[in-house]
């Protein structure tokens, strides 16, 4: 009946009455959704479905064109008062039915907060964004473009809300600098104290500007702040600039440690985040207003990392609380996030900065600094770091270094696993579980990288950790079917192996000479004695023999395969057995001791 009425209104071109009918349907829809929350009456779900069905029928019928019903519904919803309109369930349902414009809703939310100062719109924006993120992947409520626009608008609203709450309070968490008593100091100490006092004042000012609610244009604030630094002679020369940065980090770490004492992590991170943003802006504009002097920017950034490392070593030496070291996790994570932003640096030099951060992380290996192990694992599991390190493929410096970090953490865990496999410490077990999840994610999302560096991982993963080893070995490179027929393989997946790193040059030359000349006659016995001498099977580790055997087996297999292909021999057991490479592998796997034989056979299987 309602559709017939609407059809009649359309034929009469009575748009105003038609508008009222649709508005009535939407009003009832919103009202019954609210009532349903406070009542178990079964009629409400039916009524809700009825009203939404009317709108859907209108959308799909030929009475009104789709764009017109889309526009009318959006216009009606936006005219509702905020307290009625901000109903997450109703809005998300209309969005999922494609009868409401998400972009218009975004702009209305922004206007409600910025212009009309409606406070509860922040909570609504947060809830709606959560719904959109879930529905985006499960029911396709929003396209990627719509979702990006929504999150950008919601982010502006939330940032303004946070700024209004913490303005004037963040900087108050930093103790007011007090002038030192100069009467008891010599001249050099007076200068250092006055410098520290001035720098502390400058930091306080930047924290205020970073979180100000009056001006969110951070570049404008940055220019103002640079002018302030000029007044304090910070840019007189490079020495004064680096002194400012170094002293600032010292103050930041010190203040952060003080706020940790009060368990006020949020304030701590706000102080750190603001200064990290300033450092990255300094890196961006250092040397030239545009990214021209790349080497000078890299030098500046490298010195910043050196300052952080020196402070870290100092805190380790002074045996600070492990909780205080988490501030370094925040610093490194902040640098990764800021450097990865598209507007920070141009793409062709961003990777150099990522490589510097990865190298810096390698210097913080948990094998060297046990107390930093948890933070180290959190950082290398960071999705942004994984993306910027591995997204360009396996044959990049960043991918290589990232895999070194993975090996660092495995090497850190290995001794605890070797000591007693049956009673692994709980903390080691927890680390290992998280590491296994990380490898599982990487083998799925970046199989080319994991397969390319698989030998490196096999060198460090204990053989008793068969689940983790199998995850690495199950990484199927892009373009290779997991259901391949061995007889039909025409091209091997790329694998990284730098032979001189694992096999002495003398042994490589000795082997190549035997492969080409079949001399000396005692080659195999010499090789066997060499391997047994190098292979150290101990309770704590497999020693250098694992890397040597893994590399040697791979080298023999690859060389033998190339020979068969070069000679255009048929690939079968007879042709394989006819190669000298097979003869060498057969000899070492039948004459080595049982432990070494296990390693060699495992390497062949891999």
CA separation for the pair 453, 397 (Å, rounded): 13
Q: Are residues 152 and 18 in the same domain?
A: yes
pLDDT for residue 59 is more than 80: no
pLDDT for residue 602 is more than 60: yes
Q: What is the mean pLDDT of residues 283-302?
A: 70
Q: Which of 151-165, 288-302, 341-355, 560-574 comes out lowest in average pLDDT?
A: 151-165
CA separation for the pair 59, 70 (Å, rounded): 8
> Which residues 6+ apart lie within 8 Å of 382 measured at CB?
333, 336
The larger pLDDT score, comparing residue 403 to residue 316, is at 403
**Residue 198 structure tokens:** 């001035």
Q: Which of 153-162, 238-247, 270-279 comes out lowest in average pLDDT?
A: 153-162
Where is the domain boundary, 480, 514, 529? 480
Residue 586's pLDDT is what?
92
CA separation for the pair 255, 268 (Å, rounded): 8
Q: Are residues 348 and 422 in the same domain?
A: no
Where is the domain boundary, 346, 364, 382? 364
Q: Are residues 420 and 325 in the same domain?
A: no
**Residue 549 structure tokens:** 């055997």
pLDDT for residue 484 is more than 70: no
508: three-class secondary structure by DSSP: helix
CA separation for the pair 458, 369 (Å, rounded): 24
CA 236 to chain CA mean position, Å = 37
Q: Confidence band (pLDDT; 50, 70, 90) for 172?
A: very low
For residue 329, is it within any domain?
A: yes
Q: Of the spans 12-26, 241-255, 366-380, which averages the highest pLDDT?
A: 366-380
Q: Are residues 514 and 458 in the same domain?
A: no
Closest CA to 404 of 349, 360, 436, 369: 360
Q: Of the spans 186-200, 267-281, 419-433, which averages the highest pLDDT?
A: 267-281
Q: What is the mean pLDDT of residues 148-175?
A: 55
For residue 419, is it within any domain?
A: yes
pLDDT for residue 473 is more than 70: yes
Closest CA to 84 of 11, 31, 134: 31
Q: Which of 113-127, 173-187, 285-299 comes out lowest in average pLDDT?
A: 173-187
CA separation for the pair 545, 463 (Å, rounded): 13
Residue 138's pLDDT is what?
42
Q: Confidence band (pLDDT; 50, 70, 90) for 457?
A: very high
408: three-class secondary structure by DSSP: helix
For residue 187, is it within any domain?
A: no
List, for residues 487-533, the tens digit of each pLDDT value.
666 666 788 887 778 888 888 888 888 988 888 888 888 888 888 87
CA separation for the pair 499, 170 (Å, rounded): 55
Q: Are residues 321 and 445 in the same domain?
A: no
pLDDT for residue 102 is more than 70: yes
Residue 112's pLDDT is what?
75
CA separation for the pair 377, 408 (Å, rounded): 10
CA separation for the pair 320, 73 (Å, rounded): 60
**Residue 386 structure tokens:** 């994984």
pLDDT for residue 302 is more than 60: yes
Q: Are residues 459 and 516 in the same domain?
A: no
**Residue 199 structure tokens:** 């720098």
The larger pLDDT score, comparing residue 156 to residue 84, is at 84
User: Distance between terminal CA atoms of the chain?
Assistant: 71
User: Checking phi first, is residue 5 left (phi over 0); if not, alpha (psi -120 to 50) or beta?
Assistant: alpha
Residue 535's pLDDT is what?
67
Closest CA to 543 of 411, 380, 445, 439: 411
For residue 349, is it within any domain?
A: yes
pLDDT for residue 105 is more than 90: no
Q: Confidence band (pLDDT; 50, 70, 90) for 597?
A: confident
**Residue 428 structure tokens:** 């080691």
> Mean pLDDT over all residues of the chain?
76
CA separation for the pair 557, 554 (Å, rounded): 5
Buried b (16+ CB within 10 A) or exposed e, 312-345: beebbeeebeeebbbbbbbbbbbbbbbbbeeebb
Q: Are residues 89 and 141 in the same domain?
A: yes
List, for residues 331-360, the tens digit of each pLDDT value.
999 999 888 887 766 667 788 889 999 999
**Residue 23 structure tokens:** 């508005």
Number of domains forming the structure of the chain: 4
Contact (Cβ atoms closer than 8 angstroms) between residue 221 and residue 215: yes
CA separation for the pair 93, 81 (Å, rounded): 19
Residue 400's pLDDT is what?
94
Q: Are residues 347 and 462 in the same domain?
A: no
Residue 169's pLDDT is what?
42
> Which residues 6+ apart lie within 8 Å of 17 measured at CB?
9
- Per-residue DSSP letter, 399: H
The larger pLDDT score, comparing residue 538 to residue 440, is at 440
Q: Are residues 447 and 506 in the same domain?
A: no
Residue 215's pLDDT is what?
42
Q: Are residues 24 and 82 in the same domain?
A: yes
For residue 434, is it within any domain?
A: yes
Residue 249's pLDDT is what?
82
Residue 285's pLDDT is what?
75
List, for residues 218-252, the tens digit of each pLDDT value.
666 777 777 777 777 777 777 888 888 888 888 87
Residue 190's pLDDT is what?
44
Of all residues in the chain, the percent with pLDDT exceeding 90 is: 14
Rg for the chain (alpha carbons), in Å? Answer: 33
The sign of the dihedral angle between the CA atoms of 239, 240, 242, 243 is positive
Contact (Cβ atoms closer than 8 angstroms) between residue 482 and residue 476: yes
The larger pLDDT score, comparing residue 191 to residue 57, is at 57
Q: What is the mean pLDDT of residues 163-185?
A: 41
What is the helix, strand, coil percentage profile of the chain, to 5? Answer: 75, 0, 25
For residue 107, is it within any domain?
A: yes
pLDDT for residue 164 is more than 80: no
pLDDT for residue 448 is more than 80: yes
CA separation for the pair 299, 310 (Å, rounded): 16
For residue 175, is it within any domain?
A: no
Angle at CA of residue 421, ends 429 and 432, nearest 5°: 25
Contact (Cβ atoms closer than 8 angstroms) between residue 365 and residue 347: no
> Which residues 6+ apart lie within 8 Å of 390 measured at CB?
398, 399, 402, 442, 446, 449
Residue 186's pLDDT is what?
47
Residue 168's pLDDT is what?
42
CA distances from 191 to 181, 188, 196, 237, 606 (A): 12, 5, 9, 17, 64
Q: Are residues 154 and 24 in the same domain?
A: yes
List, for residues 374-419, the tens digit of each pLDDT value.
999 999 999 999 999 999 889 999 999 999 999 999 999 887 776 5
Q: Which of 149-153, 233-237, 279-283, 502-506 comes out lowest in average pLDDT?
A: 149-153
For residue 406, is it within any domain?
A: yes
Residue 346's pLDDT is what?
66
- Per-residue DSSP letter, 63: S
Q: Are residues 453 and 527 in the same domain?
A: no
**Residue 52 structure tokens:** 């939404």
Where is the domain boundary, 164, 192, 222? 164
Residue 264's pLDDT is what?
62
pLDDT for residue 165 is more than 60: no
Closest CA to 436 of 402, 412, 471: 471
Query: 517: burial class by Cβ within 10 Å (0-12, 13-18, 19+)?
Result: exposed
- What domain range is 86 assigned to? 1-164
CA separation for the pair 104, 507 (Å, rounded): 71
**Residue 12 structure tokens:** 């009469």
């Amino acid at each position: 009946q309602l559709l017939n009425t609407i059809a009649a209104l359309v034929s009469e071109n009575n748009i105003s009455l038609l508008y009222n009918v649709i508005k009535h349907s939407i009003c009832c829809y919103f009202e019954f959704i609210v009532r349903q929350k406070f009542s178990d009456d079964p009629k409400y779900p039916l009524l809700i479905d009825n009203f939404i069905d009317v709108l859907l029928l209108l959308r799909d019928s030929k009475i009104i064109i789709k764009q017109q019903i889309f526009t009318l519904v959006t216009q009606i919803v936006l005219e509702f008062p905020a307290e009625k309109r901000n109903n997450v369930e109703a809005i998300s349902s209309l969005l999922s039915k494609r009868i409401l414009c998400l972009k218009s809703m975004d702009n209305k939310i922004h206007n409600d907060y910025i212009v009309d100062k409606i406070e509860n719109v922040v909570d609504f924006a947060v809830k709606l964004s959560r719904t959109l993120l879930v529905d985006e992947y499960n029911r396709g409520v929003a396209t990627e473009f719509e979702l990006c626009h929504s999150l950008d608008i919601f982010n502006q609203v939330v940032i303004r809300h946070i700024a209004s709450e913490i303005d004037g309070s963040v900087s108050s968490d930093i103790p007011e600098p007090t002038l030192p008593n100069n009467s008891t100091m010599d001249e050099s100490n007076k200068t250092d104290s006055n410098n520290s006092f001035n720098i502390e004042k400058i930091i306080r000012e930047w924290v205020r500007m970073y979180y100000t609610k009056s001006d969110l244009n951070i570049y404008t604030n940055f220019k103002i702040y640079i002018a302030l630094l000029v007044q304090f002679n910070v840019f007189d020369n490079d020495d004064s600039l680096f002194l400012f940065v170094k002293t600032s980090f010292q103050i930041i770490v010190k203040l952060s440690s003080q706020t940790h004492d009060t368990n006020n992590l949020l304030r701590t991170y706000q102080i750190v985040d603001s200064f990290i943003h300033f450092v990255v802006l300094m890196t961006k504009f250092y040397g030239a207003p545009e990214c021209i002097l790349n080497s000078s920017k890299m030098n500046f950034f490298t010195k910043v990392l050196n300052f952080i490392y020196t402070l870290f070593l100092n805190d380790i030496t002074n045996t600070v609380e492990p909780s205080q070291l988490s501030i370094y996790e925040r610093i490194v994570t902040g640098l990764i996030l800021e450097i990865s932003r598209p507007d920070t640096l141009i793409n062709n030099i961003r990777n150099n900065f990522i490589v510097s951060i990865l190298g810096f992380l390698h210097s913080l290996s948990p094998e060297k600094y046990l107390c930093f192990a948890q933070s180290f694992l959190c950082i290398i599991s960071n999705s942004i770091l994984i993306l910027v390190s591995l997204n360009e493929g396996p044959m990049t410096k960043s991918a290589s270094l990232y895999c070194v970090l993975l090996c660092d953490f495995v090497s850190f865990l290995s001794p605890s696993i070797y000591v007693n496999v049956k009673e692994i410490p709980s903390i080691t077990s927890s680390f290992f579980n998280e590491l296994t999840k990380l490898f599982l994610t990487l083998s799925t999302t970046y199989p080319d990288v994991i397969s390319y560096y698989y030998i490196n991982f096999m060198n460090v993963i204990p053989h008793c950790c068969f689940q983790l080893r199998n995850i690495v070995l199950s990484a199927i490179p892009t373009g290779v079917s997991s259901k391949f027929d061995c007889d039909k393989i025409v091209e091997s997946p790329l694998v990284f192996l730098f032979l001189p790193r694992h096999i002495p040059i003398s042994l490589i030359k000795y082997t190549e000479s035997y492969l080409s000349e079949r001399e000396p006659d005692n080659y195999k016995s010499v090789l066997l004695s060499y391997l047994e001498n190098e292979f150290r099977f101990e309770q704590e580790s497999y020693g250098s023999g694992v890397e040597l055997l893994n590399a040697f087996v791979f080298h023999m297999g690859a060389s033998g395969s190339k020979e068969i292909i070069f000679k255009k021999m048929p690939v079968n057991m007879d042709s394989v057995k006819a190669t000298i490479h097979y003869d060498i592998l057969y000899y070492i796997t039948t004459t080595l001791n049982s432990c070494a034989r296990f390693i060699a056979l495992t390497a062949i299987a891999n």
